[in-house]
Amino acid sequence: MRVPTAPPRALCPSSMDPEGGSCPGGHQEGMRLLLLLLPLVLWGAPLAQRLELRQNVTVQEGLCVLLPCTFPHPQVSFGKIYMFWFREGADTKRDPPVATNKPEQKLHEGTQGRFSLPGEPQARNCSLSITDVNAGDSGTYFFRAETHFRKFPSLNKMFFLNVTALTHQPHVLSPGTLEAGRPGNLTCSVPWACERATPPIFSWTSAAPSSLGPRTPFSLVLTLTPRPQDHGSRLTCQVKFPRSGAMVERTILLNVTYAPQHVAIGMFQGNRTALKILQNTSSLPVQEGRALRLLCAADSNPPAQLSWFWGSPTLEVTPISSTGVLELPRVGAAEEEVFTCQTQNPLGSQNISLSLSVVSPPQLLGPSCFQEDEGLRCSCSSRARPAASLCWRLGEGLLEGNFSNASFKVNSSSAGPWANGSLSLRERLSSGLRLSCEALNVHRAQSGSILLLPGG
């Protein structure tokens, strides 16, 4: 429609014309026509050619996005401007928009409460705000505008919203190290989340004893009281965005410090290895003359300093080994005493002691016999750990202990590893009788014998 270039007659402000007469009916009709044409004159070029809009926008699900948009504004205000955003393929006469500033306008069910127009039309702001973006929001959208008097021409510009999977991860703030038995706080947060979105739901997964602490819309505090066995275990913070269904998580490994515990001593003797967890002051039997290697180990974090001592460790005593290994090249009687392994780190210490018990089978000296005035006297000795018990055999008869009669006398004694015995025979014995000395301890029995010859 073409607007006349010649100025029209002045419009009557009332029922009187400018010359004092009545305003002709044709002039009133012209006024109404001019009011309808005025928005088109003020808007100038088609709106589609001036709409400033990004063509493609990418956003991760669960987040928010603001699509900047501006449009040309009339040079003078002429009624309220209503703005609408529609999805591609929508019938603007029948289908509801995804967002509008028009009051009481029915909106698309899938976008209601999430799509909005935060800008003011008077500021030429047609920006579209989307919160809690979900995968179903992907697609093409277009803009419409109207006043009470007229709908503006169709717009050719559209924008495509591309929704991708959420790749952000929660932030887990921890004190770095946790001490066993002491409560510590860890905070899981999503600082990259949109404040206008629905608050996410936090959950924690851990085997360590824990309780939930203060909660804010975008973070959650976990109070953890770890145990030594929780060191190195996994702690997972999971965050779910309820309106979009997006879910992300972060897993960390717990670093728990604790004092030494579960001290163990490994024993290496010859080609055999025996690993034992010994109680304090345990006794360890070791064969005399063998090489012995003791290895001390403890479970702790940070790792414990290991040392070996003779007896009980004190501040004035120098360790015989500043490592967890104690070498004894040849075990003898001198090693039959207490050794202590000390384990220590900044959180505490634990000691374990053991007593070496040197053992050996009997080594028999004798028997030997010589003639006395009253008869025959025999002696026998044994060295063993523990000391052996001695007994005599005369033929088939067994003689032991300390006793005497008219025919013979038996004596026995012991001192340390030595056992000594003597036998006195007071009557003439038949020739060819066998006399034996036997030594016995828990490890072995050994015997020696002599044969009483004729004429002896």
Q: What is the pLDDT of residues 309-347, one digit of tens each?
A: 988 787 778 899 999 999 888 887 666 678 899 999 999
Helix, strand, coil shares of the chain, percent, nearest 5, are: 5, 50, 45
Task: For residue 24, give both structure tokens.
Answer: 């002709």
Please tell me what DSSP assigns to residue 281.
T
Q: What is the pLDDT of residues 76-133, one digit of tens each?
A: 455 788 999 999 999 988 999 999 999 989 999 999 899 999 988 878 889 999 999 9
> DSSP 3-state assignment of 448?
strand
Find out whether 111 and 163 touch, Cβ atoms under 8 Å.
no
Q: Checking DSSP bridges between strand 282-287 and strand 305-310, what pairing results, if any?
A: unpaired
Residues constituting the chain: 456
Residue 450, strand partner residues:
435
For tokens 């909106």, name the residue: 107
pLDDT value of residue 29? 52
> Which spans in 71-199 are helix H?
none
Indicate the helix (H) or strand (E) that contains 162: strand 158-164
pLDDT value of residue 15? 38
pLDDT value of residue 277? 60
Measured CA to CA in angstroms, residue 246 lies from 32, 66, 262 at distances of 55, 19, 45
Find out whether 213 and 183 touch, Cβ atoms under 8 Å.
no
CA distance 19 to 364: 158
Sheet of 128-130: strand order equals: 65-67, 128-130, 115-116
CA distance 419 to 423: 14
Indicate if the alpha-carbon torsion angle 226, 229, 234, 240 is positive or negative. negative
Going by C-alpha positions, the residue among 285, 435, 273 that lies closest to residue 361 is: 285
Q: Checking DSSP bridges between strand 256-269 and strand 178-179, what pairing results, if any?
A: parallel
DSSP letters for 28-91: HHHHHHHHHHHHHHHH-S-GGGT-EE-SEEEEETTS-EEE-EE----SS--S--EEEEEETT--
CA distance 70 to 155: 13
Residuewise pLDDT in 10s, the chain (456 residues): 343 444 444 334 433 343 444 444 444 554 454 444 444 444 444 444 467 788 899 999 999 999 999 877 654 455 788 999 999 999 988 999 999 999 989 999 999 899 999 988 878 889 999 999 999 999 999 998 888 777 766 556 789 999 999 999 999 998 888 999 999 999 999 999 998 899 999 999 988 888 888 888 889 999 999 999 999 999 999 999 999 999 999 999 999 999 999 888 888 776 666 656 665 667 777 878 888 888 899 999 999 999 999 887 877 788 999 999 998 888 876 666 788 999 999 999 999 988 888 888 888 888 988 887 777 888 999 988 888 888 888 877 788 778 888 788 888 888 888 999 998 887 766 667 788 899 988 878 888 887 776 554
Please tell me what DSSP assigns to residue 347.
T
CA distance 15 to 27: 11
